[in-house]
Homo-oligomer: A and B are copies of this chain.
């Protein structure tokens, strides 16, 4: 995995990803390294289960060294959320935004999301894990996670609305509802894949999305382009 070049700032801002100064000093680099390990660790244990001690041993530093970079555990959790959001935005949302508008763009998003959940690092997804952890335990971390989810929902709705303008979907279709439905499909996929270990989870998720899109299609049109080529070209 090569060092990913940072996408254009305005696009990221559109996705609600805050971009800290990105200092290129010594400390800035190790901070980045710590964050990478922290995201991977949080994927396995959740944001609450992410302990300073385990993170320190993971990166081969002392606990106190962590506090030199992040003042508190809460600040570390916030930084982890932002780093994970940056990753998700660059690897899933941005490729979709550079695909042709309308249904192909939806499919690139779905395929990127699926492969993110499938072949990803062990432990799963920070966002899914911390969503259920924090859902009723108020505080800055919960608020940040909530805002990120809302922003993701808005992005999905925008992508779907583009499909309406292209004529791929009915004019009276509800983009927000589609965003919620798609998110539900992905949650179900995650659950079936991770906990139940069902090998048909991926195929079923695609079928569910297809059903969602079919229901949103203008009357009298068959199943639309599955956009396999577009999905491949998008990454």
Binds B, one of A6-14, A15-23, A189-197: A189-197
- The 0/1 profile, CB within 8 Å of B marked 1, for residues 131-156 of chain A is 11111110000100110011001000
- The 0/1 profile, CB within 8 Å of B marked 1, for residues 164-194 of chain A is 0000000000000100110111011101101
A225 adjacent to chain B (CB < 8 Å): no
Q: Which residues of B contact A149 (CB under 8 A)?
A: 191, 195-196
- Closest residue of chain B to A187 (Cβ to Cβ) is B187
Q: How far is the CB of A127 from chain B (nearest CB, A)?
A: 10
B211, A215: Cβ atoms closer than 8 Å: yes
Would you list 27 pairs from A and B whose C-beta atoms are within 8 A, ordered by A residue?
Answer: A44-B136, A46-B133, A122-B136, A124-B132, A129-B133, A132-B132, A134-B195, A135-B191, A135-B195, A136-B194, A145-B195, A146-B197, A149-B191, A149-B196, A150-B196, A153-B196, A177-B204, A180-B188, A180-B192, A180-B198, A181-B188, A181-B208, A184-B185, A184-B187, A184-B189, A184-B191, A188-B188
Give me the interface of A with B, judged by CB distance under 8 Å: 44, 46, 48-49, 122-124, 128-129, 131-137, 142, 145-146, 149-150, 153, 177, 180-181, 183-185, 187-189, 191-192, 194-198, 201, 204, 207-208, 211, 215
A49 to B47, CA, bound (A): 12
Q: Which residues of B contact A189 (CB under 8 A)?
A: 184
Q: Which residues of B contact A49 (CB under 8 A)?
A: 48
Q: How far is the CB of A189 from chain B (nearest CB, A)?
A: 7
A58 to B75, CA, bound (A): 30
Each complex incorporates copies of this chain amounting to 2
Q: How far is the CB of A76 from chain B (nearest CB, A)?
A: 18
Q: Assuming A46-B133, A146-B196, what are 18 further A-B pairs, CB within 8 angstroms?
A: A122-B136, A129-B133, A131-B191, A131-B195, A136-B194, A145-B195, A146-B197, A149-B191, A149-B195, A180-B188, A180-B192, A180-B198, A180-B204, A183-B188, A183-B192, A184-B185, A184-B208, A215-B215
Selected from B44, B134, B153, B177, the residue in CB contact (under 8 A) with A207 is B177
A135 to B150, CA, bound (A): 25
